[in-house]
Amino acid sequence: MITINLRPGARRAAGSTADRLKDALQRVGTRVKEPMLLLAVAVVAVVAVVLLWIGVGIATERSRLKPQLESVRQESRRFRNIVAQKRREETIRDSLLTQIQVIRTVDGDRYIWPHVMDEVAKALPPYTWLVNIQTLTPSAAVLDTADATKPLDLKLQIDGRTVDIQAYTRFLRQLEASPWLRDVQPVSARTVVEGDRPVTAFAIRAVFNRADSAYIRTVPLSQSVR
């Protein structure tokens, strides 16, 4: 097909898009003397496009994950406060346990004798009296009192007199029934003369036993009197 240019000096229009692209490539090919330079430029352009695409993807992903990151930061601050509060409570708990242990060490045997004397007095039958109560082991202050459930190995000996041998056996049974005493055993029982009359001198050994909390009765230190 022959085309005639009716306008001198004007460029000839291509018949189609393919022809225009072919002419453009031919002109570039005639202008570029180094094909490797053209390849390098193309590679740089491709790399730039890829990097731009990756950057846009990263920015989009960052925008999408930003709310989640803020939520995670808030949860982290909340858990950090919870952990700090727990540590403060554990510190207070350890301090209280230390104070309780010190108090138990100081008061290890302070309230043993009131319990012993109260139980012995309640178990003592008529016409029977005591001569001596002594310990056969060291004081409870040197024993392990850290564990309140651990029984104190505090051995006692009770010496007394009675004018009725049956009162002596009743005294033994009542001591055995006490929640504060265990291992109640008779040691000796013999007849002696006191005040010109025969009486039975007896010796009993027992071990102090920390009673269950159900047997412990507490009262206020002070009460108002009307």
Closest CA to 160 of 185, 193, 131: 131
The span from the CA of 204 to the CA of 185, in Å, is: 6
Residues 6+ positions from 121 with CB-CB distance below 8 Å: none
Mean pLDDT of successive 10-residue segments in the chain (226 residues)?
54 60 62 65 82 85 81 85 90 88 65 85 92 76 47 82 92 92 92 89 91 64 55
pTM of the model: 0.47
Summarised one tens digit per residue, pLDDT across range 11-41 is 554 456 667 766 765 665 555 556 676 677 7
- Domain ranges across the chain: 16-106, 112-213
Residue 120, pLDDT score = 93
Beta strands 128-135; 154-162: pairing state: antiparallel
Rounded to an integer, what distance in angstroms lies between the CA atom of residue 202 and that of residue 162? 8
- Domain 112-213, what fold? Alpha-Beta Plaits (3.30.70)
The single residue listed with the structure tokens 């009716």 is 6
Do 160 and 131 touch, CB atoms closer than 8 A? Answer: yes
Which amino acid belongs to residue 176? E
What pLDDT does 141 receive?
46
